[in-house]
Structure 1
């Protein structure tokens, strides 16, 4: 039931989006305590889609997304994420999600890419922002996630919204620079350590613009 609600988050009709997001919270709320651990994987899959709606162009949908995402953080016992959301720290929340590793990274990456194809500008912009952060935090070199994210962001250079196209290009450029350095690096340095060096060399106005 809960899995079938996620596609409705991207619905053209804002009322459908609102009801789907609100109902998703109701599903979590009415889950029996003994069943919660079995539902955790499904709830975790809703985090990035809900994040992409925090700036929904319809205020009631954005508020429903924030409320449901906060409830999901509580459901998953992610106290730090819950605090960030209660403080309405969207960047901090995105950073928190991007730092998670393992199998979750694959799920988050796939969901971010799905939202790159959204018909809603706010959703594509949120996906570009999140994938940029996710790429900066990837530690696992074996699965070659970073080049996949780079290519996805480069493909957004033709986005009809100039702001989205520019932001995607800037994030792709940063991650591509890290990827080139990674390929030429000897030793086990993390991608994140490299990207921080690139980030620090950027002018302050540009590093902030890559999120704004």
Structure 2
């Protein structure tokens, strides 16, 4: 109970509108991870792993980097654990893979590097050599295709995340969302999943009205008023 209460208190700090408070909470978690015993670590993993991805898009670069590197550290913490612990972590990290992918070519180098390191650690845990090779090359298009092939069930989650990412202020994140949706549209064409296909097509059509392309896709930016 003591650990749960402590973790709950720190998690509340992650919701604080002050970026300094969120940074402090993440730093505490970083420091705790190396000292928690098995039971306390299991509680921390249960409470935190699936709560981290939204912070990858935080307005604070430091919060982005710390949350991504904390996920990597938590994945590393189970690599020498028992099989049940590793299998549980494998289930949890699938939801984080697409958010990490979207930051792989982040304009802030430290965030991009943290994302690559976290993806490589996840690939190691998943024993997915194909994913690992593509992450090492930062081949975002093929990574997206692979994730869609290997976990089709999460397509609705991926789609919802893409929709949110289309409104991101960073061009690199918007561009990655467009690319991922483009891969998904091609995979869904000719299938029975017409509902998700229509959703993506509508979103891309709206994006075409709201954005303008300058000198190639890497300079995708909001249309000036």
The TM-score with structure 2 as length reference comes to 0.67
2:198 to 126, 129, 147: 147
Distance 1:59 1:87, change over 3 A: same
Cα distance in 1 for partners of 2:137, 2:176 equals 19
Q: Does 1:37 align with 2:87?
A: yes
Encode CA deviations 1:35-83: one digit per residue, 9 max, x unaligned.
1212222200011100100111101110111111121122122221111
Any unmatched runs of 5+ in structure 1?
168-212
Cα distance in 2 for partners of 1:76, 1:146 equals 28
State the 1:101 CA deviation: 4.9
Task: Name the counterpart of 2:127.
Answer: 77
1:157-176 to structure 2, matched below 5 A, reads 157-159=208-210, 161-163=211-213
1:1-212 to structure 2, matched below 5 A, reads 1-31=48-78, 32-33=81-82, 34-138=84-188, 140-142=191-193, 144-159=195-210, 161-163=211-213
The residue matched to 2:105 in structure 1 has which SS? Answer: coil
Q: How many residues align?
A: 165
Q: Please say if residues 99 and 134 of structure 1, whose CA atoms lie closer than 8 Å, have aligned partners that are also in contact.
A: no
Q: Please say if residues 145 and 183 of structure 2, whose CA atoms lie closer than 8 Å, have aligned partners that are also in contact.
A: yes
Any unmatched runs of 5+ in structure 2?
1-47, 218-225
Distance 1:41 1:117, change over 3 A: farther
Distance 1:136 1:100, change over 3 A: farther
Encode CA deviations 1:125-176: one digit per residue, 9 max, x unaligned.
11011111111112641462111110111121243x5239x96xxxxxxxxx
Structure of greater relative contact order (alpha carbons < 8 Å, 6+ residues apart) = 1
Larger radius of gyration: 2
